[in-house]
A and B are shown apart, each in its own frame.
Chain A
């Protein structure tokens, strides 16, 4: 069983959903982002680290902004993985990268370096299952969960295929849209998550647009995991109290 699956299993026994927090590596600086990641690790069950990319088509303004700041300081995949390897974090770390930085470094070389950095899972937002052959075998070889996404536009047949292909968990995109904080989530979201759960026999984590404890609490009743990204970047950008917010986010994932 993978490290990610183990976390979901133990949380499920405790009647909790997983809190998965995201930060773009290099935002606002590489050193600062690594420090923030240590803070995230204290409250979250898993950490998602984003590799900045110049053309992030699945992302909204907030993550795009953080990527641009990070890229200006010249961070790259090799440096990020080197520094992550030195982090003392027990929680599973998931890397999020668009495909091109992985291709540029060399796909096998990327996996080798990810393994060295103890990366547990990989999310590639521009990789659909039709193209997953590109990474699938190497992900298996290096024991890294290749996590696929489903969207509200995916039909039952696609949800089933994606569910079979994904490892660790299935990433359920909450909205037809890009990443970014939203005040309201679609009213059909809970039934969509339930539908995915009825088709896929793996943990379902939901992401995109989630920003406050009320939403987390509601979603945690159905989903196995909640992913928060843009909101974390906003908290850092607005110099809000990160510990305070993380504590509330995690509390909201506890059911009952």
Chain B
């Protein structure tokens, strides 16, 4: 049976805690609080109530019949995380973490954001639960996701522009960590993906695994059997791990899709699991895109949410042990999939999710009509319209 991470936060050789000592007591406090609250019915009830009545869970599992017909292969189902409040799976995690922060008495929440979805979800959770909110965002990401910046501000959050380094998610995380080191006594860091030091990868996976639990129940109800394949996109990897985790003990095949950008030969990509080497970034041992000297490499993806040189340690483990397969999808193929889904099903996916779609469609084509493929539609594409327009 799959029971990871171990007590030190390791998934095989990946994970752990590699952070300044200043933060260590806070991490231990969060871990203690989380383990306790996990068993507490009152906390679970409160969280479930927010997820149901505020965020909009359970999300539907939709049979994409037009798309399936068009591809003439396996039946494609879409897990509709795009229908959640704020438009992506991110809200599952932020409601849970902000609620936890409130329980341990923190009044101020900080977060980082790439695409802006985690920032919006954090700002939303803070507004709903009445906590102060500061969001760090790379200058480059602020330029390409202006609508989300406006939303965060409207929700009462302060958005701090990060113009150091690559001006994307990686540097926004650095700045958020620096803020946390400085204000750790009053502040809770609401991390956006299954990255960072233990207990974040474990805790966020648990919070996101509501996606996979619902999917499993729904597909059994609809078809009476488990699917042959699950497909999800992987940046840091939170939607994918939440989707996969409840299936790890089954025989269902899983495929994680990273951003292939302009192609793996160009260095303009974010395919950490394909091209990364073992290293430490943002507090965890994982696979990392880095130079021979151990400097973190700049990355590229048309989808800001996938533009990250690291990956959750659990994904690094699942790849190494072979339980989950990982591949990549190039920018242009994601844009094509974006358009196909819009036209065939009337659903506009996030560019991040479009990466999973492109590969899911490709796989489904090769499979028999009696087979089932479920793709996690992690978010909706309103935020990406302008970006996609220039590419079509």
The answer on A and B forming one complex is yes
Residues in A lying within 8 Å of B, measured CB to CB: 53-58, 60, 64, 68, 71, 76-78, 98-105, 125-128, 130-131, 148-155, 158, 162, 173, 176-178
Nearest-CB residue, chain A, relative to B9: A130
Nearest-CB residue, chain B, relative to A159: B21
What are the residues of chain B within 8 A of A102 when measuring CB–CB?
A: 294
Known: A57-B181, A103-B279, A177-B182. A127 touches B18 (CB 8 A): yes
What are the residues of chain A within 8 A of B19 when measuring CB–CB?
A: 57, 126, 128
The CA-CA distance from A162 to B24 in the complex, in Å, is: 12
Contact assessment for B182 and A57 in the assembled complex, using a CB-CB cutoff below 8 Å: no
The CA-CA distance from A98 to B178 in the complex, in Å, is: 15
What are the residues of chain A within 8 A of B22 when measuring CB–CB?
A: 151-153, 173, 176-177
- Shortest Cβ distance from A130 into chain B, in angstroms? 6
Contact assessment for B24 and A128 in the assembled complex, using a CB-CB cutoff below 8 Å: yes
In the complex, 28 of the A-B residue pairs with CB atoms within 8 angstroms, ordered by the A residue number, are A55-B171, A55-B282, A55-B296, A76-B293, A99-B280, A100-B281, A100-B290, A100-B294, A101-B295, A103-B279, A103-B280, A105-B294, A125-B20, A126-B280, A130-B16, A149-B20, A151-B20, A151-B21, A151-B24, A153-B24, A153-B25, A153-B184, A154-B21, A162-B21, A173-B22, A176-B181, A177-B182, A178-B178
The CA-CA distance from A162 to B22 in the complex, in Å, is: 13
Nearest-CB residue, chain B, relative to A130: B17
Number of A-B pairs whose CB atoms are under 8 Å?
120
Contact assessment for A77 and B293 in the assembled complex, using a CB-CB cutoff below 8 Å: yes
- Shortest Cβ distance from A189 into chain B, in angstroms? 14
Q: Which of B17-43 contact A (CB under 8 A)?
A: 17-26
What are the residues of chain B within 8 A of A150 when measuring CB–CB?
A: 21
What are the residues of chain B within 8 A of A125 when measuring CB–CB?
A: 20
Pick from B18, B170, B182, B296: contact of A126, CB below 8 A.
B18
Q: Which of B278-293 contact A (CB under 8 A)?
A: 278-283, 288, 290-293
Nearest-CB residue, chain A, relative to B180: A57
- Shortest Cβ distance from A63 into chain B, in angstroms? 11
- Shortest Cβ distance from B105 into chain A, in angstroms? 15
Other than the known A57-B20, A104-B279, what 11 A-B pairs have Cβ atoms closer than 8 Å?
A57-B181, A60-B178, A103-B280, A105-B293, A125-B20, A128-B24, A130-B17, A149-B21, A153-B21, A153-B185, A176-B185
Q: Does B390 contact A (CB under 8 A)?
A: no
Q: Which of B134-189 contact A (CB under 8 A)?
A: 164-165, 170-171, 174, 177-178, 181-185
Known: A126-B20, A153-B25. A53 touches B295 (CB 8 A): yes
Q: Which of B283-327 contact A (CB under 8 A)?
A: 283, 288, 290-296
- Shortest Cβ distance from B251 into chain A, in angstroms? 35
Contact assessment for B185 and A54 in the assembled complex, using a CB-CB cutoff below 8 Å: no
Pick from B171, B181, B294: contact of A178, CB below 8 A.
B181
Chain B: residues with Cβ within 8 Å of the partner, total of 39
The 8 closest A-B pairs by CB, nearest first: A104-B294, A151-B22, A101-B294, A76-B293, A177-B182, A100-B294, A54-B295, A58-B20
Nearest-CB residue, chain A, relative to B166: A54
The CA-CA distance from A173 to B23 in the complex, in Å, is: 12
What are the residues of chain B within 8 A of A162 when measuring CB–CB?
A: 21
Contact assessment for A130 and B8 in the assembled complex, using a CB-CB cutoff below 8 Å: yes
Contact assessment for B178 and A100 in the assembled complex, using a CB-CB cutoff below 8 Å: no
What are the residues of chain B within 8 A of A153 when measuring CB–CB?
A: 21-26, 184-185
Nearest-CB residue, chain B, relative to A60: B178
The CA-CA distance from A150 to B20 in the complex, in Å, is: 9
Contact assessment for A64 and B164 in the assembled complex, using a CB-CB cutoff below 8 Å: yes
What are the residues of chain B within 8 A of A130 when measuring CB–CB?
A: 8, 16-17, 24
Contact assessment for B165 and A55 in the assembled complex, using a CB-CB cutoff below 8 Å: yes
What are the residues of chain B within 8 A of A71 when measuring CB–CB?
A: 295
What are the residues of chain B within 8 A of A76 when measuring CB–CB?
A: 293
The CA-CA distance from A99 to B18 in the complex, in Å, is: 8
Nearest-CB residue, chain A, relative to B20: A58
What are the residues of chain A within 8 A of B16 when measuring CB–CB?
A: 130-131
Contact assessment for B174 and A57 in the assembled complex, using a CB-CB cutoff below 8 Å: yes
Pick from A64, A100, A151: contact of B279, CB below 8 A.
A100
What are the residues of chain A within 8 A of B293 when measuring CB–CB?
A: 76-78, 101, 104-105
Contact assessment for A178 and B24 in the assembled complex, using a CB-CB cutoff below 8 Å: no
- Shortest Cβ distance from A104 into chain B, in angstroms? 3
Contact assessment for B21 and A128 in the assembled complex, using a CB-CB cutoff below 8 Å: yes
What are the residues of chain A within 8 A of B283 when measuring CB–CB?
A: 57, 126
- Shortest Cβ distance from B292 into chain A, in angstroms? 7
